[in-house]
Amino acid sequence: MTDIAITAASVVAGSNAVRDSGSAGETITAGQAVYRSSTTNKWMLADSDSATAEAKRATGIALNGAALNQPLTVLKSGDITIGATLTAGTAYYLSNTPGGICPVADVGSGEDVCLLGLAKSTTVLAVAIQSPGVTL
């Protein structure tokens, strides 16, 4: 699977961004897909082929980097300059690399489908997360 290469320092929320915040449950880099653990109430890296069901359903994208127990702000929906080169009009999904984001063409067998958003341009992702609970 080929994940997009994100430059963390270039990740910026758009003016229409819906944010959430909390503590990191592990080391997280800006631009990675995350979910909030129901057990610890901390943000963790999402992973489309994780053994943990809730980890397969990203609920946001990290806007800053954080180590364990440090504050983390997460974009839940809206536009994000993701710090990577996108293909306008392409759907981007949670990958099987923890925190990774990949184009639809790279979602493979055994992965849960989790749409993160559609590319509005070569730099901006319109985040509208959908996770129907379907495994390919």
How many Å apart are CA 65 and CA 24, to the nearest integer?
9
> What is the pLDDT at residue 135?
79
The whole-number pLDDT of residue 54 equals: 93
- pLDDT at position 136 is 78
User: What are 29-85's pLDDT values in tens digits?
Assistant: 999 999 999 999 999 999 999 889 999 999 999 999 999 999 999 999 999 999 899
Q: Domain 8-130 classified CATH 2.60.40?
A: no
Listed residue (136, 108, 131) closest to 55, CA to CA: 131
The pTM for the full model equals 0.94
